[in-house]
Structure 1
Amino acid sequence: MTARGARAVREVSHYLGNTPAVCRTSYIDPKVFELFEQGVTVAPVLTRLGEHGEFGRPATQGAVEAAVLDLLDGSGG
């Protein structure tokens, strides 16, 4: 795992109140790391949300979650 990946795991673990090891094995699909290493992320969805001033509002959670699921099933983001 890259240093950026390790940092992301530490940040997620902080928000979830678990150790990085628990987050990595129980909450984060390993495919997320594989795709990240290939440069595939949900960044385009986050950018679109930000363009409309929507990012950060509670209603955007569904859009971000849908983008992650699309990323994992290979249908895009």
Structure 2
Amino acid sequence: MAHYLGNTPAVCRASYVNPRVVELFEQGVTVSASLDALGEDAGFGEPATQGAVEEAVLRMLTA
């Protein structure tokens, strides 16, 4: 696939969007509710979103 897109395999992996995420978005299902809580438990100097968004997407996909 990378060859057809003119990208390296790493770029394709980093840019890949699971088709289920697109389907859910079209149905109005998003992770927006989880975004309000970003940074609540983060310490000073710690990225507020590290892992939280990915976890929200995984929960959405497995619900």
TM over 0.5: yes
Q: In structure 2, the residue corresponding to 1:49 is in which secondary structure?
A: coil
**Matching residue's letter, 2:32:** A
Structure 2, unpaired ranges of 5+: 1-6
Structure 1, unpaired ranges of 5+: 1-17
Quote the sequence identity (%). Answer: 65
Q: In structure 2, the residue corresponding to 1:60 is in which secondary structure?
A: coil
Compare CA radii of gyration and give the structure with the larger one.
2
Contact 2:31–2:60 at 8 Å: present in 1 too? Answer: yes
State the partner residue of 1:61: 50
Tell me how many residue pairs correspond in the alignment: 50
Aligned-residue offset at 1:34: 0.5
Runs of 4+ deviating beyond 2 Å: none
Please identify which structure carries the higher helix content: 1
State the partner residue of 1:39: 28
| RMSD (Å), alpha carbons | 3.0
1:29 aligns with 2:12: no
Aligned-residue offset at 1:51: 7.2
**Matching residue's letter, 1:63:** A
Name the CA distance, whole Å, in 2 between partners of 1:36 and 1:27: 15
